[in-house]
Structure 1
Amino acid sequence: MTSPWSRSTTWTDGELSIAGVPVSTLAARFGTPSYVLDVDDLRSRCRDVVTAAHRAGEQHGIETAVYYASKAFSSTAVLRWAHAEGLRVDVASLGELATALRAEVPGAAIGLHGNNKSEEEIDLALQHGVGRIVIDSIPEIELVAERAAAAGVVAPVMVRVTTGVHAGGHEYIATAHEDQKFGLSLATGAAAEAVEAILQTPQLTLLGLHSHIGSQIFAADGFVESARALFRLRSEIAAASGVLLPELDLGGGFGVAYTPDDDAPDVPALVAELVATVARVAAETGEPAPALSFEPGRSLVGPAMTTLYRVGTVKPVRLEGGGERLYVSVDGGMSDNIRTVLYDATYTAVLASRTADAEAVLSRVVGKHCESGDIVVRDVMLPADIRRGDLLAVPVTGAYGRSLASNYNQLPRPGVVAVGDGEPREIVRRETIDDLLALDVG
């Protein structure tokens, strides 16, 4: 089992503290709900995976790179910290690209993804010399080539390959099966067709092949099978064209522990294992090993962030067949964490602001939205005396909490508070009602 709490989270006199700051202090200063980021936890996770990849690469003679998948959570401060720890940055929209550029991440250290890239996104990427654009469809080849010609540059590209290998949790986060929007199919020959077209297009230079098999993955098997599939395609391309592609990207999707019952993988060890596997496959084929890249996001920022809520209405509800469940309403909900309703995701929660001697009872943490599906934590044991004004903490909300947040019911989105060296500061400002009304032009 793996602890879901960030590495600097402790209990002091019955109260939860994050990086040395009690949650009552954070709530009083910044309000609730708030996303609280443990900076040392984030940076150490970034550092650990980069170090593991580089050491394994040196051992096996393979060049490695790690990209932070900024779709998990993007802000200028986080991207600066990730890049300072040796990561490059993966972006998938104009906003994510603009954030990376504002964070002063060099263009060469940025990769652009997306299944429906706009001309504006491509142009900005080419203007700043991004290190790679990941081609996601046949029509996109012509589009990127046209924009590159207009800019007077040659665009570095990779081909996203749908390998047929998929892994992870919910259907919507498995991304390598055939019947979905991402990538070019290996089985139907679309990936090979794309490679051939790119090799014949002078405005493009083909760096390699990319695969992403899903999210919340706990074992190496799927990555290994996908790597072998990419390696076979690479060999076929070399035999047909004489071009041995220099790089393979195995994507991300490494799982995290959302509750104490989850047993999350050791991500640095998993990355090192994949580097060793590719080295073995290269030895089997007699071909030079390619450079390798990875794109973790959730496994870096997810466990580093906790959401603080203030408890409001507490209501016992009798269940059919007997028994009772305590409904604990908080001042946020599906607008700040939609993953429970969207993916049937599982979280845990604790009473964070005081000790409680009351027995633990079956509880459900719900939000304040006009939806019966507005559930933050479906089942958790909380003290029977939990009451209005208490602080509730939900861990592992760094990935896709703020990124998927909305203004449903016209709720302002929470701010993001970073805590490092005992000093908290807001790195993403809390929205206000004035912010919401400012967009309404009447």
Structure 2
Amino acid sequence: MRLLAGLTAAALSGLAAAASKQTADVYILTANQQSSSETPSIPKEVARHILLQRASRQPYGSDLRDIPSSTDTETAVSHIARFGTGPEPLFSQSDKTNVPQLVVILEGVTYQQSHDLKDALSQAGHPAAFRVSDAPSAAANKNLMTLFRQLGSAPSQPCDLAHALNPANEECWSGISSVVNYDLQKASSTYSALLASLPQINKLVAASDLEVTLLVLPDSTRSSKINSWSTLAGNPTNNRRRDSGERVITDSTVVWPAPSTPTRSAKVNIQKKAIPACFLSLDACKEATNDCSGHGTCVNKFGTGNATSSDARACFACKCMATVVRRGDEPGTSGKKTVHWGGNMCQKKDVSVPFWLITGFTVTIVGAVTFVIGLLFSVGQEQLPGVIGAGVSRGASK
């Protein structure tokens, strides 16, 4: 009886351990699908970095402190580089990086649904890219979607699949990426709509008009004991920022405010950090610099003739100009003043002329005063001439 009880306990503990770690398949539908003989198994932390990269175009894979010790760092980086996507460039137009990214998270998928979806995608040339070896619970998925909303990658309101497949739909898309989440146990029609939409998805993917990342979470993951996609979540020590300024993203705490649709001026503020010395076209210069912040004009520095022509020697950059401001617009002031502008986008006031005027005037005054004081001091130290000295001596003797 004791032996039977021991075997039963061991079997139950094995089943519990197996139930605590459920796998989830991830499909990445791209125009240049890379075929592989085997599907790698990736920890949830690495999978989270991949999803964040594909959804928000930010290099979140740079902070790998949440990668488990059982996973080699180089292996994790190679997985992120292979299945993720690089950040969107600020100035160059690349077809690869400008493809809209749609991340679809399916929860509550039954075994039969997962099997049918796998067959349908395999027939279309899209096998599973990788699988998450330890898919977390439904609570962790909810926190992950909250993170995507705070990053501006997920819509604030539910969005059906038909609208999510249209990157022009502003209700489901914010910029060039979107993340949607469907629970098939609550919205069973979404699964049939997904299967019916596969031909449309394949056409969009083949034309490089859309890339889809599909995370298929089995229904058994709801009761998983893993309650977070990242081991950093809820750990105040690990949530502290590094001295180098790197940001640590967790499922529970995000330091960014809720983003909105970026305006043109906001894009300019972001691009202040890295403005190239030359643009290849006039339109690119105007777009990236917001028409030189309204304080100048884009000109071809090395070109001749028409400044709008573009050739191999084209180098368009901002030429800053002075602006005249009426002092009468301000209370207690009158007249006009000229403001000079500088910087790679003419976004900074050029204070070099007033600075040198004030500095030169100050140095001149200090030098003049010093010279006068020194001259008076040197004159006072000189001896009187001999004739005057003799007269003074005889008068004193009398």
Say whether the fold is shared (TM-score over 0.5): no
CA radius of gyration, larger in: 2
More strand by share: 1
Higher relative CO (Cα under 8 Å, sequence separation at least 6) belongs to 1
TM-score of the superposed pair, with normalisation by structure 2: 0.23
TM-score of the superposed pair, with normalisation by structure 1: 0.22
